[in-house]
Chain A
Amino acid sequence: MRQIAVIARRELASIFLSPIAYVVLVCFLLLNGISFWLIVTFVTNEPAMQMQSSPLQAFFGGTLLYYLPILAVCPLITMRTLAEEHRSGTIETLMTAPVRDFEVVLGKYAAALIFYIFLWLPTLLYVVLVARNATSLDWGPVASAYLGTLLIGVLYVSIGILMSAMSKNQIIACILTYVVLGGLFFLGLGEYVLSDEWWKNVWSHVNLWSHMEELSKGIVDTRRVVYYLSGAVAALYTATRVVEARRWRA
């Protein structure tokens, strides 16, 4: 556990000292800010829309503008983690240190996930703005919407770590993560297109959009929690095996 914390701290320091982190943060906040402002303006000008959803419900998963930053940011956060160590050769040093493979993977994963959470922290200001200006705000759905956002991060960051472990180049890692995350996102949308009940159920199980639709309303379904957590465990386990493979292949 101590080793994981040490690696995570080292990784976090390198993230926060790199300019790319701030570029990501600025773009992320800009996109989310525009999304939030558009929703608030729309809800104010179209009172009938208030019947369907509150501004925060629309913000958390009601529009494509919520998913785009997540899909764009997760690969950028994770692409460097293990791929860069391979490219620069520092992985050898890391591997000869008294740390186990899973500690390396979990340390890097924890750092990336903390940065993902850090990206979302400023959006709490949106909640404050709505709470101050709306007639009433139900805090339950707000909490479940953030839980959903966290669960997505838990899975997507772990997939990014796996792709980074599999690549020797951070650009390749980034592209691979985009492909997998984009694939998952679009496959999920199959729920809305397919008519066959069995396939519909399969795609609805991975459909990020419908998951967030529920979570932003205040519904926490164990199927979603199990999917995101078990997916993350599977991805991180596989990533550990990939790192281990590099050791014995060398």
Chain B
Amino acid sequence: MSPADVPTPRPRDPSRERASIGLNSLARVLLVLGLFVMVNYLSARHYVRADMTRKSLYSLSAKTKRVLGGLHSDVQVDVFLSQGDSIYGDVKELFSRYRAQSPRIKVRFIDPDLDRARFELMKSRYGIREGRLPDGRTITDTAIVVSSGERHWFVTQDDMVEVDFSGAEMGGGPELKGFKAEGALTSAIVNVTTADKPKICFTKGHGELSIDDFGERGLSHLAEALKRDNYETQAIETYGRPSVPSGCSAVIVAGPTRPFAEEEAASLRSFVEGGGKLALLLDPIIDGSRFVPTGLEGIAEHFGVKIDQDIVVETDAKRLTTVGGLETFAAMDWATGHALAEPFREAPLLVSIARSVRKAEGGTALVTEIVKTSDSSWGETDLARMQAGDEPAKGADDVEPPASLAAAVEVGESERKGRLVVVGDADFLARALFENPTLVNQDFGLGIVSWLSQRENLISIAPKDVENVHMNLSEDQLFWIRTYSVYCMPLAALFVGVVVWLRRRQ
């Protein structure tokens, strides 16, 4: 091959080369921007939220996580709050947590002022009523509608916040005490995704706490809470009836003050044996200086639970209240591994004049002691001694500590197992204790019904206290804060700057 035949390289075209490099760079930048969009799109669909507050104020409860984890259908949530509303931010934040937990939750915020057309549509669909505030904002009787398929549930602002009006007498305004929206919303989600509506029957005729009574000894608040959780409630007579009325998913005997007849007890016993669910909430009945049996102790014993004729006394000062005696105290030692006790851990259940309820010796049923008192307590059996006002001391016949206050039993081997809960107290359901957010009385009360109805995921959620940081500063303190932050710090920076500038000049 002669040198003339060797192909000469084509001369390089610098402008073509630059264009090629430029295009290559541009393509790479576009690729990175595309990646940026894609990563953010994915992160918006699958995200996690960490709560760094001391009291886990922004974490979902285990119950809500369980409910959301078990969703099989989409749940649509329509929020009718205007952006100026005081709880708008909190509700929005709460739904971010729900959405982070389950993609089944679809949330639409419909501002009644800004998004008028959509609001009108929803208003006529759900029959929402509206009004105007003095500042011109629209206010609605329903804050949130939760729906799934054909079922829907309304949540009001009152369902979501607890307001303290105690300062009103001193001329102060209402104060936000707690935020309980999670309980209301999770219950609403359960309501619209659960088809059945169990009927809870409360016995009457023996001086029991009544669901129709709005007074101190009433249980109207419990009935209201149960209705919100999609239960039906009904008061039933057991006297003269051979069996529990059909349709009762569970029967609750709450604090009878007169004994049950043998036939009544027998009908309740066969109800449980037939797969029924029963809760016995039994305060001690006292006649003069002796305990009177309620007539139901035999049923409990038959299923492996011994109800003692005593009054539990607590001497651990940390568990006593400032107003009650040794018989009014907080029980905090919950069983582990039982659905009825698991949500509460070391939370306080306040009881008053309770009797001990424990696993009977030699029983074969599956009995779990749910909550116990401390080692500084016992079951006082000598009523005369207590009434005499003697110095409290454990006697030889007293029930040994720690005293169990509640037991849960599963009866039978078949698929339709009976369930029985025995609590040695009914006063824990009293309105004042039930509505106290620092106690778990409400949660435990509703939890019993949920466990009996085999709807464990409907155990109620206690409201979250609002974290308040109070700063009551004197004029002097304000002066020093202003001096430090407005004058000292900028002047110090200026001084350093001047020194640096002078040194550079030198």
Give A contacts to B, CB under 8 Å.
16-17, 19, 21-23, 25-27, 29-30, 32-34, 36-37, 40-41, 43-44, 47-48, 50-52, 54-55, 122, 125-126, 129-130, 133-141, 143-144, 192-193, 195, 197, 200-201, 205, 213-214, 217-223, 226-227, 230-231, 233-234, 237-238, 241, 244-245, 248-249
Q: How far is the CB of A233 from chain B (nearest CB, A)?
A: 8
Which one of A54, A205, A213, A237 contacts B44 once the chains associate, using CB atoms below 8 Å?
A205
Most buried by B among A144, A195, A244: A195
Whether B89 sits at the interface, judged by CB under 8 Å, is yes
Residue pair A37, B481 in contact (C-beta under 8 Å)? yes
Does more than half of chain B's interface fall in helix, strand or loop, or is it mixed? helix
Residue pair B494, A22 in contact (C-beta under 8 Å)? yes
- Chain B residues near A201: list those with CB within 8 A: 44
Which one of B35, B49, B500 contacts A22 once the chains associate, using CB atoms below 8 Å?
B500
Give B contacts to A, CB under 8 Å.
18, 21-22, 25, 28-29, 32-33, 35-36, 39-40, 43-44, 47-55, 57-58, 83, 86, 89, 93, 96, 100, 108-111, 114-115, 118, 173, 175-176, 466-473, 477-478, 481-482, 484-487, 489-490, 493-494, 496-498, 500-501, 504
Bound state CA distance, A248 and B115, in angstroms? 53
- Chain B residues near A222: list those with CB within 8 A: 43, 47-49
Return the chain A residue nearest B164 by Cβ: A51
Bound state CA distance, A25 and B494, in angstroms? 8
Bound state CA distance, A201 and B106, in angstroms? 13
Other than the known A25-B497, A34-B486, what 19 A-B pairs have Cβ atoms closer than 8 Å?
Answer: A19-B501, A22-B497, A30-B490, A43-B471, A50-B469, A51-B466, A54-B467, A133-B473, A138-B53, A140-B52, A143-B52, A195-B111, A197-B109, A205-B44, A218-B51, A230-B35, A234-B36, A238-B29, A241-B29
Bound state CA distance, A96 and B94, in angstroms? 55
Residue pair A144, B52 in contact (C-beta under 8 Å)? yes
Return the chain A residue nearest B176 by Cβ: A51
Which 9 pairs between the two chains have the least Cβ-Cβ distance?
Answer: A22-B497, A140-B52, A33-B485, A54-B469, A226-B43, A195-B115, A218-B53, A218-B52, A234-B36
Residue pair B478, A41 in contact (C-beta under 8 Å)? yes
Which one of A17, A126, A217, A245 contacts B93 once the chains associate, using CB atoms below 8 Å?
A217
Q: With A19-B501, A29-B493, A219-B52 in contact, do A44 and B47 touch (Cβ < 8 Å)? A: no
Residue pair A223, B43 in contact (C-beta under 8 Å)? yes
Bound state CA distance, A11 and B221, in angstroms? 69
Return the chain B residue nearest A16 by Cβ: B500
Q: How far is the CB of B343 from chain A (nearest CB, A)?
A: 23
Q: How far is the CB of A101 from chain B (nearest CB, A)?
A: 11
Does more than half of chain A's interface fall in helix, strand or loop, or is it mixed? helix
Q: With A48-B173, A51-B175, A134-B470 in contact, do A22 and B493 touch (Cβ < 8 Å)? A: yes
Q: With A26-B494, A223-B43 in contact, do A37 and B482 touch (Cβ < 8 Å)? A: yes
Bound state CA distance, A29 and B494, in angstroms? 10
Bound state CA distance, A213 and B92, in angstroms? 11
User: What are 12 contact pairs spanning A and B, CB under 8 A?
Assistant: A33-B485, A41-B478, A44-B478, A50-B468, A51-B175, A51-B176, A130-B471, A140-B52, A201-B44, A221-B100, A226-B39, A248-B18
Residue pair A137, B481 in contact (C-beta under 8 Å)? no
Q: How far is the CB of A1 from chain B (nearest CB, A)?
A: 22
- Chain A residues near B484: list those with CB within 8 A: 125, 129
Bound state CA distance, A36 and B487, in angstroms? 12
Bound state CA distance, A139 and B53, in angstroms? 8
Bound state CA distance, A22 and B493, in angstroms? 7
Q: How far is the CB of B52 from chain A (nearest CB, A)?
A: 3
- Chain B residues near A26: list those with CB within 8 A: 490, 493-494, 497
Bound state CA distance, A50 and B3, in angstroms? 92
Return the chain A residue nearest B24 by Cβ: A241
- Chain A residues near B110: list those with CB within 8 A: 195
Residue pair A51, B477 in contact (C-beta under 8 Å)? no
